[in-house]
Amino acid sequence: MPAWAARLMRRLLARALPWLVVALIALGAWRLWPGGETTAPGLLDPAALAAALPAAADAGFASLDTAAEWTPDLPRDLGPHPASRTELWDLTGQLRDSTGRRHGLRLTLVRLGLRGPAAVDARRSGLAAKALLLGRLSLVPEGREPIRAERASRTAAGLAGATAEPSTVWLQDWRLALGDAGAEDGRLTVTLDDIRLDLRLGAQKAPVTPATALLDGGAGRGAAGDDAPALRWLAAPRLDVSGLLVVEGAETRVTGSAWLDHLWGDAAANASGLAGTRGQLAVNRFLLQLDDGSELLCIHLRRRAGGGTPVPTCLVIAPDGDTQVLRRRALTLAAGEASWRSAEGHASYPIHWQLTAPDLDLRLDIRALHPDQELVLGERLWSGAVAIDGEQRGRPIAGGGRMDLSGYAATDG
């Protein structure tokens, strides 16, 4: 690749990756007003939510120095960062039951700070909350309709909260305990009507900083300019999962793997950017876990209106934890023939993709576990579980993961 083309691609990635991070937070944003509601009445455009909040500095929140080199403090950085306005724990997993059926799992928990530690607060009541916690659960049984639920609560009276030691975040009876990094003591418990999950989580690899790996630098203001959101992004790429899934009183053992994204900072620093991928460029994201113990986090940049050549980039994490980045000439990531159109006809999404990486002798087919996994968050997004089949070095390979597709709606909304 010519030097000028390489510089252009890096500039595009530097500008797009921060908005990708914000888009991840947007997927967990709910309509919130500081009232007594404990359930979320509906989804809201994250830009409108951010616009309704006071500036982070005025509310007593600290700013991240994203221009400086950052080394995670583990296991502390898996837990809450109350000095930051916004924080997200996003767990994506795929389970198999005793019959071999797949179940896509996603739990998103968002802490939205109302007052930071530096805020002057005359109220001393234990019922006065400094943050709101929002949650969204998605369970996608293979061949069946997805199950979705949303919740929201103040972080007061024990209803919701987060602790650092041990690293735990909870929202009523949804609880994600991460334990120490690399330990086997994590746990996820979820109760929803006639569904219950009780899962053990064991970290098999050390956490990584995806944005740093993809850019060889930070993904905040230092990399993308003064208008980029100030955020940190830490990921636990491989959590072994085992435990019980209970549906309508019937228990079944499940096993699988999961990936955890943890982000924190000031997502409200630039409300106009909180639409995630509005503008000329759109971003697709592929989070893939293969059964040989490797993972791929792929970013696919394209023009919304078509034209030009899409730019794919993948962070590859080997079974032993070593990482490498595959860029445009070492990677092909293209939509297949299968698509799904939303019921209102506003968007048509490519739900079958093919990935080829000659240097790894790898070919993957990526297919939606269920076609209808659309979210409407101001902008329409397809975000859901996928199944993976393919071949590496002449041998079959399989896996599961998640796919996020944006910019396919004819008109926003």
The confidence score (pLDDT) of residue 215 equals 67
Tokens 């980039």 identify what position? 313
Question: What is the model's pLDDT at position 154?
Answer: 86
Name which of 118-132, 183-197, 285-299 the model is least confident about: 118-132
More confident residue, 120 or 65: 65
By percentage, how much of the chain surpasses pLDDT 90?
42
Phi, psi of 214 (to 5 degrees): -75, -30
Question: Over 90: is that where the pLDDT of 55 sits?
Answer: no
Enumerate residues 6+ apart whose C-beta is below 8 A from 49: 29, 31, 32, 268, 274
**Lowest-confidence pick of 19-33, 83-97, 201-215:** 19-33
Is the pLDDT confidence value at 143 over 60?
yes
Residue 413 maps to a domain: no
Weakest-pLDDT range from 16-20, 218-222, 399-403 = 218-222
Half-sphere exposure of residue 261, counting CA atoms within 13 Å on the CB side? Answer: 28
Q: Is the residue at 267 inside a domain?
A: yes
Q: Quick one: pLDDT band at residue 40, thresholds 50, 70, 90? A: very low
**pLDDT tens, residue by residue, 344-386:** 778 999 999 999 999 999 999 999 999 999 987 667 889 999 9
Residue 158, in any domain of the structure: yes
State the pLDDT at residue 273: 38
What tens digit of pLDDT does each residue of 258-278 get? 999 998 987 654 433 334 445
Q: What is the mean pLDDT of the chain?
A: 80
Q: What is residue 31's predicted lDDT score, i.e. its pLDDT?
A: 33
Q: Is 411 contained in some domain? A: no
Output the six-digit token pair for 236. Answer: 């636990």
What integer is the mean pLDDT of 116-131? 66
- pLDDT tens for 324-337 read 999 888 999 999 98
pLDDT at 191 over 60: yes
- By C-alpha distance, which of 170, 372, 141 is closest to 247? 141
Please write the tens of the pLDDT for every residue from 311-326: 899 999 999 999 999 9
pLDDT of residue 287: 96
CATH of the domain at 250: 2.40.370.10
24 has a pLDDT exceeding 50: no
In-domain check, residue 8: yes
Q: What is the mean pLDDT of residues 122-147?
A: 80
Give the residue numbers spanning the domain of 137: 3-406
Cα separation, 178 vs 188, in Å, equals 8
User: What is the SS3 assignment for 252-280?
Assistant: EEEEEEEEEEEEEEECCCCHHHHHCCCCC
* Count of structural domains within the chain: 1
Least confident of 21-35, 133-147, 151-165, 268-282: 21-35
Q: SS3 for the chain, per residue?
A: CCHHHHHHHHHHHHHHHHHHHHHHHHCCCCCCCCCCCCCCCCCCCHHHHHHCCCCCCCCCCCCCCCCCCCCCCCCHHHCCCCCCCEEEEEEEEEEECCCCCEEEEEEEEEEEECCCCCCCCCCCCCCCCCEEEEEEEEEEECCCCCEEEEEEEECCCCCEEEECCCCEEEECCEEEECCCCCCCCEEEEEEECCEEEEEEEEECCCCECHHHHHHCCCCCHHHHCCCCCEEEEEEEEEEEEEEEEEECCEEEEEEEEEEEEEEEEECCCCHHHHHCCCCCEEEEEEEEEECCCCEEEEEEEEECCCCCCCEEEEEEECCCCCEEEECHHHCEEEECCCEEECCCCCEEEECEEEEEEHHHCEEEEEEECCCCCEEEECEEEEEEEEEEEEEECCEEEEEEEEEEEECCECCCC
89 found inside a domain: yes
pLDDT at 376: 75
Place of tokens 């009780």: 198
Query: What is the rounded end-to-end Cα distance, in angstroms, of the chain?
Result: 38
Is the pLDDT higher at 99 or at 16? 99
- pLDDT at 47 exceeding the cut of 50: no
The band of 157, judged by pLDDT with boundaries at 50, 70 and 90, is confident
pLDDT per residue as tens digits for the range 286-308: 999 999 999 999 999 888 877 77
Predicted confidence at residue 27, as pLDDT, reads 45
Domain annotation covers residue 140: yes
Has residue 262 been placed in a domain?
yes
- Whether the pLDDT of residue 48 is over 90: the answer is no
**Would you state the structure tokens that stand for residue 302, as one six-digit string?**
């394209």
